[in-house]
Structure 1
Amino acid sequence: MVQIKFWGRLSLAEETYRYQQLEQWLQQGISDGRWKVGDRLPSIREICAQQGLSKATVQHALQRLEAQGLLEVRPKAGHFVTLVPTATEPPRVTSQIDVPRPVNVSDLLLDIMGRSAAFDLLPELHAGDLPPGIIALNRSIGRALRRQRGADFQYYDKPAGDFALREQLGLLLAKRGWPATTDGLCITSGCQHALFLALMACCQRGDVVAVESPGFYGVLQLLEQLGLQVMEIPTSTATGMDMEALEEALGRWDIQACIVSPAFATPGGALMSDASRRRLMVLAEEYDLAVIEDDIYAESGFSQVPDTLKALDDTDRVIHCSSFSKVLSRDLRLGWISGGRWHQRILHLKMVTQLASSRYLQQGVAEYMKDGELSAHLRRQRKLLRAQRDRLLASLQAWPVPVRVTAPQGGLAVWLELPATVDTLAAYRKALDAGVVITPGPLFSASGEYANCLRISFSHPWDERRIRALNQLPELLNLT
């Protein structure tokens, strides 16, 4: 690693703001390329001496940059740059909100899902050994299966799910500001199933549902199947749903529910601010709104796992939905829901739509969590995801044309904005012929927006084959 000489001297006006000015100066130096990915910053002692700052001021600034994912601390080595954020977020759909509309999900999504390619440019590439966390999970599930005795296999589980698993989930969620009770949780077949139950419980055919735009295409699928109308709310890929736009929409139309992903939402990894979360809860009370929280990415946060939106819910208006698929295993198909004032109806709907969940799978995951294996896996996974994100961003910055890309602090993907002339839908088949599967931007909106955008995931290792596939995209997208 190369140590870069610390240039210049800061002009610090007031003591109170010195750490902020130092933070901004360092951040600008990273953006300008003075310090590149992997470079070590000057030591705290050097910065103190050269800038005339106290140790506490320098440490505070460095800690804030570390929390943003720009730096990492290596014991006995110093602070190293982990990311070069040279781009800004894509623009919103429009400065004006649209009108409610029926949903018609593209057949292209079915093609992508049929190729198991929602999170991989090269879905046929299944290289690498099982990570330790998955090996431990398989062992826990195997032990649970071997413990089945007598006629256990002849009985269904209770609709709410295994008590021990709900107990462990309650402990996990309590760390995020929400003292969830076992009676308030219901096990589902993944987060998509939980969202389906939530919409069925609080909406009727023809109702209007507010969603993020760009937002999760799986939600659009559910709205289409349930005969619900969508109200797309302009959404920042950095800070989440625009609360002013939501308030305007609520004042103009009768909106029954709002689906939000407060923590590291797909496609861009947005993190909703505390102020926006509180404003959403005020609007929900004012307009008698059901709030459906899609919390599936929260545990992937690199430097923080934010509190749940449910932690702010004093009137049981939030239906919390999540699963293990994004942070543990997509093949597990175990999720959960807490339905607030709709919980009893959700239990009934779970029994109708699924009847029961696999008992031994639930018991195995409960044991996995109780043994501390999930916590250990998450610590490793967050570090791995951050490294994979950094390599993806570094590769995108090496493209022959400048691009705008998000730099999320959690989640599994970045949102890439290309020149306005690019049509990612038109490029889908061309890329497929070259053996590369892309996820075009229009999939993330019911209105056909974002034709010049792509979602690219960093959930898989960026080995040489995936890097080569990524570097094919400029030509396939007519950028060269």
Structure 2
Amino acid sequence: MNSSEYRYQILENWLLQGIREQRWGLGEKLPSIRELCKQQNVSKATVLHALSRLEAQGLVEAKSKAGYFVRLQPTAVKRPQSRARIEAPRLANISDLLLDIMKRSAAFDLLPQKPTGEVPAGVMALNRAIGRSLRRQKGSGYQYYDEPAGDAGLREQLAQHNIKRGWSVSPEQLCIISGCQHALFLALMACCKPGEVVAVESPGFYGVLQLLEQLNLQVVEVPSSDLTGMDIDALGEVLKRWPVRACVVSPSFATPSGALMPLSARQRFLQLADEYDLAIVEDDIYADTALERVPDPLKALDTNNRVILCSSFSKSLTRDLRLGWISGARWHEKILHLKLVSQLATSRFLQQGVADFMADGSFTTHLRRQRSYLRANRDYLIASLQAWPGDVRVSTPQGGLAVWVELPEGVDTQAKYTRALADDIIITPGPLFSISGQFRNCLRISYAHPWTEDRAKALACLSQLLLDAS
């Protein structure tokens, strides 16, 4: 071993020891390259070599023009073990608790009454693009409705965006609507009739359960893993037992766990859909929140035109932009008609502004910044939850905006809701993600917002509140 190798290994071990001893906490910045050179009396090349080796191990992260920061070690996280029961299909009956959470604007925030006051650079750029579009409106165009499918320029940009992901889609296969919830509504209206059975992930998105309740559709819950999403073997058993008409699924970072369905499971899923003539409604809203590579949509594998893809900008850009899209497969013409009935048209200047925002590369730049931001928020949250007492288990999503937390048996998160509210903390209890009252010892916690001092204190307070035996 030469002296150069010896120096970088000494530095690597010294940094590693400091991370393990929490000399630098999760998310904290390491000493700068210049500082390390001076402190350790080594060259810049030696420092960069040591940091690169730690980065390859997933222990540190380089941030452009900011330096190196300590990262989470996902292998150390204890995963949730709870598994949904398979029960006979039935009508959904959603708790009023969900309405209370939504009234408080708290679906993705412990402290909605404590806004950060910061507007991301990407959202500011979007606002400027929309403003320019509005100023361009001339003549009598304001007196006309948009065409049913939506602005051609925005559909072109969305097609290009998805082609990069591996889905060969044309603008003609897309329809612009007012958000992903609207897309899911149109999809279920198009492919199902009242009383029919729809399969969903469990735990799964409460917004879908709300729609199924309003559409008078029966629900059968399929167990899902926090790593791989819907259990396809369990889905096969469900399809053998009941006449399922459609399945709503989020292959890319399902909520609440952030699970990513592997390719083999996706292929088997489509085989089952062909075998049982199943309509698939793909909720793809979280794909662009990927912390690494954005996964291909399930729709990219759809050779028999039975996957309806639904998505929007609300999770990747801003909740306030009520703009989404749907690709309706064999039901597309019916969906266009249903859009006319339920929405009529979408704002033209809003669509054109977003199209410009995408065309000049601003959306891509925003997503690149967002990955670093979300990763740091996720890592801080998971590390904080790992410090909670008792057997606390946490998902480690590679995308999405939240983690799924499993607390010890006997903890009732729904019963703790009112008590948390007294401390101005709003939680999202596990039973909201099921129609059968399962997951009472679980909850979803979001990392969409920065961990300000107030939010960090609320998270620490939540530990005592939830795990207190009284």
TM exceeding 0.5? yes
- 1:32 deviation in Å? 11
Aligned counterpart, 1:289:
278
CA displacement, residues 266-320 of structure 1 (integer Å, 9 cap, x when unaligned): 1111011011111111111111000111000001111110011110001101000
| Aligned partner (choices 251, 267, 273) of residue 262 of structure 1 | 251
Contact kept in structure 1, 2:258 and 2:399, CA below 8 Å: yes
| Aligned partner (choices 438, 449, 467) of residue 449 of structure 1 | 438
User: Which runs of structure 2 are paired with 1:157-196 in the superposition (5 Å)?
Assistant: 157-196=146-185
User: Which runs of structure 2 are paired with 1:160-239 in the superposition (5 Å)?
Assistant: 160-239=149-228
Aligned counterpart, 2:293:
304
The answer as to 2:250 corresponding to 1:242 is no
Q: Counterpart of 2:83 in structure 1: which amino acid?
A: V
Aligned counterpart, 1:364:
353
| SS in structure 2 at match of 1:366 | helix
User: Which runs of structure 2 are paired with 1:338-349 in the superposition (5 Å)?
Assistant: 338-349=327-338
User: Which runs of structure 2 are paired with 1:27-426 in the superposition (5 Å)?
Assistant: 37=26, 66=58, 71-73=60-62, 81-85=70-74, 86-94=76-84, 97-426=86-415
Q: Quick one: distance in 1 between partners of 2:108 and 2:355? A: 27
Structure 1 unaligned spans of 5+: 7-25, 41-58
Q: Quick one: distance in 2 between partners of 1:247 and 1:365? A: 41
| SS in structure 2 at match of 1:460 | coil
Aligned counterpart, 1:47:
none
> Please, what is the CA RMSD of the aligned residues?
2.8
Structure 2 unaligned spans of 5+: 1-9, 31-51
Contact kept in structure 1, 2:29 and 2:67, CA below 8 Å: no
- 1:39 deviation in Å? 9.2
Aligned counterpart, 1:43:
none
CA displacement, residues 404-460 of structure 1 (integer Å, 9 cap, x when unaligned): 111111110001111111111110001001110000000000111011011000000
Between Structure 1 and Structure 2, how many residues are aligned?
439
Aligned counterpart, 1:5:
13
- 1:84 deviation in Å? 3.0
Q: Quick one: distance in 2 between partners of 1:75 and 1:438? A: 34
Q: Quick one: distance in 1 between partners of 2:374 and 2:456? A: 16
| SS in structure 2 at match of 1:258 | strand
Aligned counterpart, 1:465:
454
CA displacement, residues 135-174 of structure 1 (integer Å, 9 cap, x when unaligned): 1100100111111112222111111000000000000000
* Cα distance, 1:77–1:323 mapped onto 2, change above 3 Å: closer
Q: Quick one: distance in 2 between partners of 1:401 and 1:206? A: 44
Q: Quick one: distance in 1 between partners of 2:73 and 2:314? A: 29
| SS in structure 2 at match of 1:426 | coil
Q: Quick one: distance in 2 between partners of 1:106 and 1:75? A: 45
Q: Counterpart of 1:93 in structure 2: which amino acid?
A: R
Runs of 4+ residues over 6 Å off in structure 1: 30-36, 59-62, 74-80
| SS in structure 1 at match of 2:315 | coil
Contact kept in structure 1, 2:390 and 2:408, CA below 8 Å: no
Percent of aligned positions that are identical = 61
CA displacement, residues 191-237 of structure 1 (integer Å, 9 cap, x when unaligned): 00000000000000001001000010000000000000111000001
Contact kept in structure 2, 1:87 and 1:403, CA below 8 Å: no
Q: Quick one: distance in 2 between partners of 1:77 and 1:469? A: 28
| SS in structure 2 at match of 1:259 | strand
Q: Give the structure-1-normalised TM-score.
A: 0.86
